[in-house]
């Protein structure tokens, strides 16, 4: 369907690079976002880090201010693992 739709917008895309996602089934839009993010990481446009930090006061703040000062941080995800 995405290739068939190109004919209708031919005048808008002439001379441009176009990407069509082909799938054997309906693709979940969250998977498409995930693929875009992985592509950005592989191109060096975006970085992804995973840290195991001690459970103490200001540890996340210290990490950000001391290690990532010249960068723009878009998102921080925090989870707490309680082991036995």
Render pLDDT for 27-74 as a digit per residue (tens, 0 to 9): 677 788 888 888 888 888 887 788 888 888 988 888 888 887 777 777
Does residue 30 lie in a domain region?
A: yes
Is the pLDDT at 2 greater than 70, yes or no?
Answer: no
Q: What is the pLDDT of residue 65?
A: 85
Does residue 12 lie in a domain region?
A: yes
Does residue 79 lie in a domain region?
A: no
Q: What is the pLDDT of residue 34?
A: 83
Q: What is the pLDDT of residue 42?
A: 84
The count of domains in the chain is 1
What is the pTM (predicted TM-score) of this model?
A: 0.41
CB count within 10 Å of CB 59 equals 12
Does residue 24 lie in a domain region?
A: yes
Domain encompassing residue 52: 2-67
The first and second tokens of residue 1, run together, are 């369907």
Q: How confident is the model at residue 84 (pLDDT cuts 50, 70, 90)?
A: low
Does residue 60 lie in a domain region?
A: yes
């Amino acid at each position: 369907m995405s290739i068939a739709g190109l004919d209708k917008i031919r005048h808008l895309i002439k001379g441009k690079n176009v990407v069509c996602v082909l799938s054997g089934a309906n693709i979940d839009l969250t998977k498409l976002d995930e693929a875009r993010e992985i592509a950005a990481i592989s191109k060096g446009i975006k970085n992804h880090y995973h840290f195991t930090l001690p459970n103490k006061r200001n540890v996340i703040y210290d990490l950000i201010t001391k290690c990532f000062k010249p960068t723009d941080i878009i998102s921080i995800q925090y989870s707490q693992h309680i082991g036995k």
